[in-house]
């Protein structure tokens, strides 16, 4: 019972497919040492030709090289198969060659007689020509393309990885898509490297074919004359024809496989199979076909030329041009929008419908950027903006207002403007069809193009053509398209203006969303304990200092706990920050290691506490000289922290946190001020820099 079950499991379709590879390799190696009858040899030669044709067709219908990533292995196996067949055929030619031209099977006989007419000289020349074409032209070219492709792919990997990270950080792709793209980038480099090495097998196979031909001819003469007492001429005819047939039947599949290798590594683009690309790019332009037909027609009218052939091809190309022109005209007519009838506008009295509310978020574009945001043209920027809003909602904790996009003829053709409640908060330029190469600070050379600045982060950049993309990757630039430039700029501004995007409507929608799971909690807070405006202000205070509000359950619980005694938004914000302290510290110092921070000198701390005591919760006045010193020393300490790779975090007593955060924010934008009470007890604190007024 168990044995039959094991046999069924062994011969299951999935297991048979798994065993196919090892069995094929064993079969190929067996042919080198075991004698094969002529019929089996015919079968294997035919199988070799069929496999080579299949590989070439798969290469032609492959849309991108990685779709045929197993090709280097196929190249090695087919080369090994040809060499095994050469060994098996050599054995049978030398053993049975004296019996006649069909001694090694019908396939070798057909290639030796039918294809070259039984002429040894012609067969020898054809074999040498095929070998030269395979060795010198196709294999050498494919190997060179694979070598250059592997080099440029490896050089471009850092830039591609940074571009993937930029798309991930901008919310254009998720973590799953980023992992997929990183894997594809690595596989592409591995593929071209493997192809560069595998092409050496084909070159070696061509050399082996020439050597095997010479060895077989000489060995056949020795065997025929000395062992079978044949005449020298008869022996030369028999064994040379058999050897040439054997060489041709091996070189033809080798040539087909080499062509397939060249097709795979020379692919550019992934929008269709090779046949469709060739037809679409070579024979789709009626003007080119008309000019070619005219040139052939003129040549066909010259006396002494093959007039019929030239005029026949000229007529065929002229017909193709005529059909292509009709097809293009039909496509243009379908795409042309129907002209809308002009209806004269009636003069009407002004009404409230003429008062249009100001959009919370708006994107205005010049006329050359309209295709990027046109839904009818499948604008890429529209998809990216939708992705930005989803990522913002996941990371920050509320759904921002939609981005209203409109064209603005007052802008320059390639310019765009981002507005918040009708006020401009950012501008830039984009060039559809081109790419922005951003210098992250460690590029290895300059690029020719239109110099500019990355609108989101202010890094030096260059607008380049698509043809320079791989060069920019190789030099270490981060290369992004025009849609990504605008989307990243918009994302940066949305994050920096998150408090202003949280209005009353968004706050109420957020509370309603929480109420679906905890209705009693929200009902007890608003409006019984706190008005909606106070909750909104607390959330805005958190967002203003870079604290996300995803943990709304904890926020609402803290507000409900302290609202009966405290109504001041700043004090409530301080209480909420203490409850969110673990998340705040975790965002600044991931993991569970020690927290390396800056701290105030005890004397300076006392002076600030005294100033705070005289000014209430909004903060007191700091003496101008002390304020200047505090700003200068804090900026210097923050820079030292950033230089050693640490986030600039200032740890202060809770009463000073709000005062110093508001005071230092303009001068040191990257500084985060954290209260002592916000750091969890489980985290070890290390003071890496001390801020002193006498420093």
The CATH number of residue 549's host domain is 1.10.8.540
**Domain-located, residue 34:** no
Q: How far is CA 66 from CA 141, 178, 181, 186, 467, in A?
A: 20, 17, 12, 11, 21
Same-domain check for residues 601 and 575? no
Same-domain check for residues 263 and 319? no
Q: Which domain holds residue 523?
A: 502-579
**Domain-located, residue 27:** no
Bridge-based pairing of strands 415-420 and 361-365 is antiparallel
- How many domains does the chain divide into? 5
- pLDDT tens digits for range 413-436: 999 999 999 899 999 999 998 999
**Domain-located, residue 193:** no
- pLDDT tens digits for range 162-193: 777 767 766 667 778 878 887 877 777 777 77
- Provide the pLDDT for residue 441: 82
Q: What is the DSSP string of 22-78?
A: HHHHHHHHHHHHS---HHHHHHHHHHHHHHHHHHHHHHHH-SSGGGGTTHHHHHHHH
**Domain-located, residue 262:** yes
Same-domain check for residues 265 and 298? no
- pLDDT tens digits for range 112-153: 666 556 566 776 777 777 777 766 666 666 666 666 666 666
What the block records as the tokens of 114 is 């039918």
Same-domain check for residues 464 and 364? yes
Same-domain check for residues 471 and 616? no
**Domain-located, residue 242:** yes
When pLDDT is cut at 50, 70 and 90, the band that residue 496 belongs to is very high
Distance CA 71, CA 514 (A): 54
Last residue of a domain, one of 479, 498, 517: 498
- Provide the pLDDT for residue 339: 44
- Provide the pLDDT for residue 297: 82
**Domain-located, residue 343:** no
- Provide the pLDDT for residue 190: 74
Say if residue 618's pLDDT is above 90: no
End-to-end CA distance of the chain: 87
Same-domain check for residues 511 and 489? no
**Domain-located, residue 162:** no
Same-domain check for residues 512 and 653? no
Same-domain check for residues 368 and 418? yes
Q: Are 438 and 458 in contact (CB under 8 A)?
A: no
Same-domain check for residues 366 and 228? no
Cα torsion for 610, 614, 617, 619, to the nearest 10°? -70
- Provide the pLDDT for residue 685: 92
Distance CA 424, CA 402 (A): 17
**Domain-located, residue 337:** no
Last residue of a domain, one of 560, 579, 598: 579
Same-domain check for residues 84 and 209? yes
Please provide the average confidence, as pLDDT, over all residues in the chain: 80
Place of tokens 């060659």: 97
Same-domain check for residues 128 and 246? yes
- pLDDT tens digits for range 263-322: 777 665 555 566 666 676 677 777 877 888 888 888 778 887 777 777 888 888 888 888
Distance CA 442, CA 575 (A): 44
114-123, 171-180, 458-467, 532-541: segment of lowest average pLDDT: 114-123
Average pLDDT over residues 526-538: 91
96-105, 157-166, 233-242, 681-690: segment of lowest average pLDDT: 96-105
The CATH number of residue 408's host domain is 3.40.30.60
Same-domain check for residues 572 and 600? no
What the block records as the tokens of 668 is 């040191």
Last residue of a domain, one of 451, 469, 498: 498
The CATH number of residue 619's host domain is 3.40.50.12790
When pLDDT is cut at 50, 70 and 90, the band that residue 348 belongs to is low
452 vs 626, higher pLDDT: 452
């Amino acid at each position: 019972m168990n044995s039959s079950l094991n046999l069924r499991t062994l011969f299951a379709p999935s297991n048979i497919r798994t065993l196919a590879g090892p069995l094929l390799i064993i079969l190929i190696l067996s042919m080198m040492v075991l004698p094969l009858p002529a019929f089996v040899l015919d079968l294997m030669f035919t199988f070799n030709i069929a496999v080579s044709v299949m590989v070439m067709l798969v290469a032609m219908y492959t849309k991108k090289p990685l779709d045929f990533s197993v090709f280097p292995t196929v190249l090695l196996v087919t080369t090994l198969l040809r060499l095994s067949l050469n060994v098996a055929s050599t054995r049978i030619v030398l053993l049975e060659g004296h019996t006649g031209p069909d001694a090694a099977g019908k396939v070798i006989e057909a290639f030796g007689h039918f294809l070259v007419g039984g002429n040894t000289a012609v067969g020898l020349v054809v074999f040498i020509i095929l070998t030269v074409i395979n060795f010198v032209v196709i294999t050498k070219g494919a190997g060179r393309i694979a070598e250059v492709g592997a080099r440029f792919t490896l050089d471009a990997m850092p830039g591609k990885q940074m571009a993937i990270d930029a798309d991930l950080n901008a919310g254009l792709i998720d973590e799953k898509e980023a992992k997929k793209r990183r894997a594809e980038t690595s596989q592409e480099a591995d593929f071209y490297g493997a192809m560069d090495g595998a092409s050496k097998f084909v070159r070696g196979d061509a050399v082996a074919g020439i050597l095997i031909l010479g060895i077989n001819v000489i060995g056949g003469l020795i065997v025929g004359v000395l062992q079978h007492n044949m005449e020298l001429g008869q022996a030369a005819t028999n064994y040379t024809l058999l050897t040439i047939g054997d060489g041709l039947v091996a070189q033809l599949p080798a040539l087909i496989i080499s062509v397939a290798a060249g097709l795979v590594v020379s692919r550019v683009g992934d929008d269709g199979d090779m046949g469709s690309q060739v037809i679409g790019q070579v024979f789709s332009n009626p003007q080119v076909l008309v000019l070619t037909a005219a040139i052939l027609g003129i040549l066909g009218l010259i006396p002494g030329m093959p007039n019929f052939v030239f005029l026949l091809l000229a007529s065929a190309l002229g017909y193709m041009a005529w059909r292509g022109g009709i097809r293009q005209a039909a496509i243009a007519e379908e795409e042309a929008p129907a002209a809308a009838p002009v209806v004269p506008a009636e003069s009407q009295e002004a009404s409230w419908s003429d008062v249009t509310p100001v959009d919370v978020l708006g994107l205005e574009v010049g006329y050359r950027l309209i295709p990027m945001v046109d839904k009818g043209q499948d604008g890429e920027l529209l998809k990216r903006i939708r992705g930005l809003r989803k990522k913002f909602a996941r990371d920050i904790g509320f759904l921002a207002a939609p981005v209203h996009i409109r064209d603005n003829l007052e802008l320059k053709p390639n310019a765009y403007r981002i507005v918040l409640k009708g006020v401009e908060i950012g501008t830039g330029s984009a060039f559809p069809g081109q790419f922005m190469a951003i210098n992250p600070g460690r590029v290895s050379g300059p690029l020719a193009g239109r110099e500019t600045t990355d609108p989101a982060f202010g890094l030096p950049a260059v607008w380049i053509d698509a043809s320079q993309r791989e060069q920019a990757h190789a030099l270490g630039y981060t290369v992004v398209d025009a849609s990504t430039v605008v989307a990243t700029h918009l994302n940066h501004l949305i994050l920096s203006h998150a408090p202003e995007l949280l209005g009353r409507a968004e706050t109420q929608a957020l509370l309603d969303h929480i109420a679906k799971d905890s209705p009693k909690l929200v009902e007890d807070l608003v409006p019984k304990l706190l008005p909606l405006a106070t909750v909104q202000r607390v959330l805005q205070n958190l967002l203003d200092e870079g604290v996300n509000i995803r943990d709304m359950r904890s926020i609402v619980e803290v507000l409900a706990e302290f609202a009966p005694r405290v109504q001041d938004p700043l004090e409530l914000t301080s209480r909420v920050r203490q409850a969110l302290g673990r998340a705040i510290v975790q965002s600044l110092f991931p993991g569970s290691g020690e927290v390396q921070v800056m701290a105030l000198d005890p004397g300076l701390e006392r002076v600030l506490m005294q100033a705070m005591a005289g000014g209430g919760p909004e903060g007191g006045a700091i003496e101008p000289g002390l304020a200047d010193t505090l700003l200068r020393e804090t900026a210097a300490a923050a820079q030292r922290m950033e230089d050693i790779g640490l986030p600039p975090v200032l740890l202060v007593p809770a009463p000073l946190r709000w005062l110093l955060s508001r005071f230092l924010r303009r001068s040191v934008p990257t500084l985060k001020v954290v209260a002592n009470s916000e750091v969890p007890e489980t985290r070890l604190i290390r003071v890496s820099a001390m801020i002193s007024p006498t420093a």
